């Protein structure tokens, strides 16, 4: 597959098959003990980290999200089109970020947060991926530490003492020079995360 992708670097199917082939050779063994990707994992990720391909996939998803077929799946027990709307906005934000469009990414992720908040209550939740930490990380990356602080505080209101929000809040406070408050959040994070075997990194978002 490596030879195929070298010959056809713009072929999305070839890139996907290469990533899958690499992962098949090392099932569930993609990371080192200190949470760094193995060389083969980095190759698989590189095969898929293509903003053009991501934009193409998002366009297909957007068509699906707005289709009559998706709306036919809606029921009181399963709001399919509403879930797809969250997916649409979230992926649009990630695509914009990959393309270097920070403002576009933030705008789409704000819509994703609003759409996720509008989903009916369910356990487990209909949308399993953390949306606010993604928005907070994007704001922090753009230089808006105050905006990121607000978002991470809102996430803590929804999910008290969750590690991602504490991690983001500590980083946004420290970026603003609020050292005393940042140190407090760091201690809270250490207490909340003391039994975890991974180190949090906002770049994962």
Which of 106, 20, 92 shows the shortest CA–CA distance to 61? 92
| Residues counted in the chain | 205
- Whole-number pLDDT of residue 97: 87
| Residues 77 and 117 placed together within one structural domain of the fold | yes
Q: What is the pTM of this model?
A: 0.76
- The parent domain of residue 61 ranges over 52-129
Mean pLDDT computed over every residue of the chain: 84
| Residues 158 and 117 placed together within one structural domain of the fold | no
Contact 164, 130 (CB under 8 A): yes
Contact 205, 132 (CB under 8 A): no
| Residues 147 and 205 placed together within one structural domain of the fold | yes
Residue that finishes a domain, picked among 100, 129, 158: 129
For 146-172, the pLDDT digits (tens) are 999 999 999 999 999 999 999 999 999
Six token digits for residue 107: 């705008």
Cis amide linkage into residue 59, ω under 30° from 0: no
Give the number of domains in the chain.
3
Six token digits for residue 17: 């098959």
Comparison of pLDDT for 136 and 29, the residue scoring more: 136
Residue 167 gets the label, from left (phi > 0), alpha (psi -120 to 50) or beta, of: alpha
């Amino acid at each position: 597959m490596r030879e195929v992708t070298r010959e056809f670097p713009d072929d999305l199917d070839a890139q996907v098959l290469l990533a899958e082939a690499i992962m098949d050779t090392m099932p569930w063994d993609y990371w080192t003990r200190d949470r760094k990707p193995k060389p083969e994992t980095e190759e698989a990720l590189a095969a898929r980290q293509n903003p053009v391909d991501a934009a193409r996939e998002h366009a297909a998803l957007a068509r699906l999200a707005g289709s009559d077929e998706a709306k036919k799946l809606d029921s009181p027990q399963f709001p399919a089109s509403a879930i797809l709307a969250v997916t649409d906005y979230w992926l649009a934000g990630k695509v914009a970020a990959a393309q270097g469009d920070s403002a576009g990414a933030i705008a789409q992720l704000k819509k994703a947060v609003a759409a996720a908040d509008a989903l009916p209550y369910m356990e487990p939740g209909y949308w399993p991926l953390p949306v606010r930490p993604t928005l907070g990380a994007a704001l922090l990356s753009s230089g808006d530490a105050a905006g990121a602080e607000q978002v991470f505080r809102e996430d803590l209101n929804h999910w008290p003492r969750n590690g991602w929000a504490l991690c983001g809040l500590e980083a946004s406070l420290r970026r603003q020079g609020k050292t005393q408050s940042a140190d407090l959040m760091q201690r809270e994070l250490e207490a909340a995360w003391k039994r975890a075997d991974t180190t949090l990194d906002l770049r994962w978002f």
